[in-house]
């Protein structure tokens, strides 16, 4: 058996164990798991939005530079 197969089986086993544990936990515990998942999702979305903002800022800075260079080139030509 290759390492990938073993890793996959371990992952499936962990998933099954987590699912079994979840199924047998109280409503309070289930809510805690859901809250954790939602918090993780929110953090992921926030991180994604931060990255988007950074990318947009960099793009607009680059565009400003291009415009600046164009203007200088036009000034020196005229």
CA within 13 Å, CB half, 3:
0
Banded pLDDT at 62 (limits 50, 70, 90)? very high
User: In the structure encoding, which two tokens stand for residue 63, read together?
Assistant: 């565009």
For 15-57, what is each residue's pLDDT tens digit?
Answer: 999 889 989 999 999 999 999 999 999 999 999 999 999 999 9
Structure tokens, 20? 């079994």
Total-model pTM: 0.49
């Amino acid at each position: 058996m290759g390492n990938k197969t073993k890793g996959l089986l371990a992952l499936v086993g962990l998933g099954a164990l987590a699912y079994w544990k979840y199924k047998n936990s109280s409503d309070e515990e289930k809510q805690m798991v859901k809250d954790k998942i939602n918090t993780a999702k929110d953090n992921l979305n926030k991180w994604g939005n931060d990255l988007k903002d950074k990318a947009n800022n960099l793009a607009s800075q680059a565009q400003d530079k291009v415009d600046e260079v164009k203007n200088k080139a036009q000034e020196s030509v005229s």
